[in-house]
Structure formats: C-alpha cells, structure tokens
Amino acid sequence: MVMTSGQRELFNQFSKRLVIDSTHDTNQSGYLLLSGLVLNSRQEGTPVFQCICKEETISDIKLALELLKTNEPESFGMVKQFVTDLGSVFIRAIAETAEHQHKHLCCSWHLEQAWNKNIKSGLLKEAKRLRLEMSQTAFWQKYYELEAAYRSDKYFFSNYGVDGMVASPEE
C-alpha cells in the first residue's frame, strides 16, 4: 500500500467517508489499482491510498484495509461510511475488517450503471426518482407504491428491495 504523508493528513482530517474502487483492464500485466478516497472540504474525491492487486478478491481488499487500519487505527475507526461498487467482495472485506459501527453505501454511479443494464424503463425512471427522495416517510410511501406497481420485476426487488439493499423502515 502506498500512502504519502500528505495523504495520511487528508485521511486523518476527512476520514468520515471512505470511497474504495479499483481499475480494470488498464495495463498489460492485468494488475488492478485499488484506491481509497475521502471527500475533502469541497466534497471532491481525494486519494488517500493506492494498492496494486493481482485480482479484486476479498483477501486482497481485506489486506489493503488491514494495512490502512494498522497504519491509521484512529482514523480508520472514524470511518462512518464506506462507499463501493455493488461487488460482494468489497461488502465482505469491509464487514470482516471494520469492527466499528459503520454503514456501507453503494456508489451512485455504479448503482445507475447496474440499473440501466438490468431494469425496465418505466421502473428505472421511478427508481431514479425514489433515489433522490429526502423525506424518509415519503421514501417509504413511494417505495411501497413502486413495489406494488412493479412486483413482477424480480431483478429489482430481489437485489434492491427490502430483502436486498434497502433496509426496511424498522431497521
């Protein structure tokens, strides 16, 4: 793992949200560049570490997170939100490494890519609207209406419904 002193300072200052992703098919050797970013004072993504991995596996991501945790235990413990793509390897690696209370959020770009690829247009339009709903009460009202109207779309509700990524209002 590579982390400069400047990146260390940024991680210590802005450790509330850590965004993690890796490159794919960007070099001849097939290695991946795993990067961690924080949002700076202007809410712009700023790299705080990089790690070269052979594959995007739970063990590789876990190793990078363990190194970060060992080098910056206080700041790592301050991470309240981990933001990644939809890959289960990130979800599992973070769950196995971050022992403190945190939330795992899906990157909106990755979420939209998956939705564009897999969801019918009518449901897609409504799901994008739902994603922007700020009121929890209005969100759940619209969610249940959407679920009733599009119940036949098994992909959306099995992956993103109450049993998938959306936590029920009771949680």
* Region(s) of the chain under CATH 3.30.420: 5-106
**Would you say residue 154 has pLDDT above 60?**
yes
**Whether pTM exceeds 0.85:** no
**Would you say residue 129 has pLDDT above 50?**
yes
Sign of dihedral through CA atoms 144, 145, 150, 151? Answer: positive
Give the whole-angstrom CA distance, residue 48 versus residue 168.
33
User: Which pLDDT score, from 0 to 100, does residue 72 have?
Assistant: 96
Q: Indicate the CATH number of 5-106 among 3.30.420, 2.60.40, 3.30.2000, 3.40.50.
A: 3.30.420
Instruction: Read off the pLDDT of each residue in 143-159 and give the average, rounded to a whole number.
Output: 76
User: Which pLDDT score, from 0 to 100, does residue 162 have?
Assistant: 54
pLDDT per residue as tens digits for the range 64-97: 999 999 999 999 999 999 999 878 899 899 999 9
Sign of dihedral through CA atoms 47, 52, 58, 63? Answer: negative
